[in-house]
Amino acid sequence: MSLGLHRNARLVINKQALFHNINTEQKRLAPGTEMFMVVKANGYGHGAVEVARVAKAAGATGFCVAILDEALELRAAGFTEPILVLGVTRPEDLPLAVQKDITTTLPSNEWLALAVQVLADHSLTDQLNVHIALDTGMGRIGFQSIDEMKAAIATVNEHSDLINIDGIFTHFSTADAKDLDYFHLQVNRFKRFMAALPSRPRYVHVSNSATSLWHQECNGNMIRFGVAGYGLNPSGTEIEPPYELQPAMSLVSEIVHCKQVAAGRSIGYGATYTANDRQWIGTVPIGYADGYQRALQNFHVLVNGQFCPIVGRVCMDQFMIRLPKPVPIGTKVTLVGQNGKNRISLESMAHFCDTIHYEVACLFQERLPRTYI
């Protein structure tokens, strides 16, 4: 996708906010507990490489990603720290993971059998490092029973020249909720797995952002710090975080066209909005192709510190707003962030679209340049 350098529309990422969030959590960790910063999905839309640089400076000792290509991006950028791929890596790609010293997830015995075959067919001088995934209730990937886990460990021991178990982990699905019943169920299941483990690997980790923020007693010796590092509350508005999270992302653009329309004139595809009196309409050069969702019709932006409603449907590359008065071409428009005394948060956008702020941030496309301040 082309980078929109010749259009005034950009994501602004505040590195000081990133540092504050990451470093504050790092200082809360018990001695000997490491932090791996989660930079999957292009750093939750913030830019993986730049976020990783800030995270390293703030105390992170490793990184988590979702797919092998994201790990390769970090290696290409010069990072030598441990990198864990949380998703399932294709067995045929494991020699590349070994070559680049990238740790993968061990999700099942079926995957392990294929991995052994592939690795045995290559003349590799190093082992593949893996973290065993345990499904304690997320229902996504990982071993559901102790017997399955033990079988995997036995297979690895038989092929210790090829594979090394470097860690073991699970993922809590309700650590960000007030109701802790299911969370405690998963904790107890994980404890039973650990009790049956012949020996503990280097890393034992269960904590995503929510678990580390509100259940530090579960942290193990490593946490996977994700959305909170970007200044976003994992629970939305359900639970207050133990310290101020500073949102790092803003989205700004400008007015590229301003006109007055008469009563009865309609705006946008489908003529879903019709002016009931004479109105000033401004056009903003961002649309759903940039990840600014079509569902945001009737939401608002900020111009000169005032909320201005989005009128008509959001187009692929543009949308229109109702202005209280005419403004010059080039007037700043804030879609996310602070403008004057008012602010638009990713959380408020997510609530309007009936989704979560994770998704809103991740949807912003590469066509939007990232500017770091």
Residue 268: pLDDT over 80: yes
254 in the same domain as 224: no
pLDDT at 317: 97
39 in the same domain as 187: yes
* Residues 301, 311: Cα–Cα separation, whole Å: 11
Phi, psi of 73 (to 5 degrees): -60, -40
* 332-339 vs 342-344, strand pairing mode: antiparallel
Closest CA to 131 of 74, 71, 87: 87
Residue 109 has what DSSP assignment?
H
255 in the same domain as 179: no
Q: What percent of the chain has pLDDT over 70?
A: 100
State the average pLDDT over residues 25-31.
Answer: 96
Any domain includes 359: no
Per the CB < 8 A criterion, the answer to whether 288 and 315 are in contact is: yes
* Residues 46, 12: Cα–Cα separation, whole Å: 9
State the average pLDDT over residues 213-226.
Answer: 94
Any domain includes 354: no
CB-facing half-sphere around the CA of 170: CA atoms within 13 A: 29
CATH of the domain at 253: 2.40.37.10
Per the CB < 8 A criterion, the answer to whether 157 and 191 are in contact is: no
* Residues 244, 24: Cα–Cα separation, whole Å: 9
Residue 174 has what DSSP assignment?
S
Number of domains, the chain = 2
Any domain includes 131: yes
Per the CB < 8 A criterion, the answer to whether 348 and 309 are in contact is: no
44: left (phi over 0), alpha (psi -120 to 50) or beta: left
Residue 270 has what DSSP assignment?
G
169 in the same domain as 75: yes
Any domain includes 116: yes
195 in the same domain as 311: no
Residue 291: pLDDT over 80: yes
Closest CA to 29 of 218, 245, 188: 218
253 in the same domain as 119: no
Strand partners, 106: 132
Strand partners, 169: 133, 205
279 in the same domain as 218: no
pLDDT at 327: 98
Any domain includes 5: no
Residue 207 has what DSSP assignment?
B
Residue 1: pLDDT over 80: no
- Supply the residues annotated as catalytic: 40, 269
CATH of the domain at 26: 3.20.20.10
Type of residue found at 263: A
pLDDT at 2: 84
pLDDT at 145: 97
Neighbours of 330 (CB within 10 A): 9
155 in the same domain as 81: yes
- Does the annotation flag 149 for ligand binding? no
Taking each helix axis from N to C end, the angle separating 181-195 and 146-158, rounded to the nearest 10 degrees, works out to: 40
200 in the same domain as 253: no
Cα→Cα distances 84→67, 256, 303, Å = 9, 44, 42
| 3-class DSSP assignment, residue 112 | helix
Cα→Cα distances 164→1, 201, 250, Å = 39, 9, 42
- Residue 186, judged by CB atoms within 10 A of its CB (0-12, 13-18, 19+), counts as buried
State the average pLDDT over residues 102-120.
Answer: 98
**Domain-ending residue, one of 230, 265, 300:** 230
123 in the same domain as 259: no
pLDDT per residue as tens digits for the range 310-328: 999 999 999 999 999 999 9
pLDDT band at 247 (very low <50, low <70, confident <90, very high): very high
State the average pLDDT over residues 57-83.
Answer: 98
Any domain includes 352: no
179 in the same domain as 299: no
137: left (phi over 0), alpha (psi -120 to 50) or beta: left
- Does the annotation flag 202 for ligand binding? no
pTM: 0.94
* Residues 268, 312: Cα–Cα separation, whole Å: 5
* Residues 4, 291: Cα–Cα separation, whole Å: 13
Closest CA to 280 of 331, 315, 314: 331
State the average pLDDT over residues 81-104.
Answer: 98
Taking each helix axis from N to C end, the angle separating 48-58 and 15-28, rounded to the nearest 10 degrees, works out to: 40
Q: Within the chain, what is the greatest distance between any pair of CA atoms?
A: 79
* 163-170 vs 203-205, strand pairing mode: parallel
Per the CB < 8 A criterion, the answer to whether 346 and 247 are in contact is: yes
Cα→Cα distances 310→284, 292, 314, Å = 10, 12, 8
Any domain includes 333: yes
pLDDT per residue as tens digits for the range 46-56: 999 999 999 99
Show the domain range for 253: 249-344
* pLDDT mean across residues, the chain: 97
105 in the same domain as 178: yes
State the average pLDDT over residues 356-366.
Answer: 94
Any domain includes 109: yes
State the average pLDDT over residues 166-191.
Answer: 96
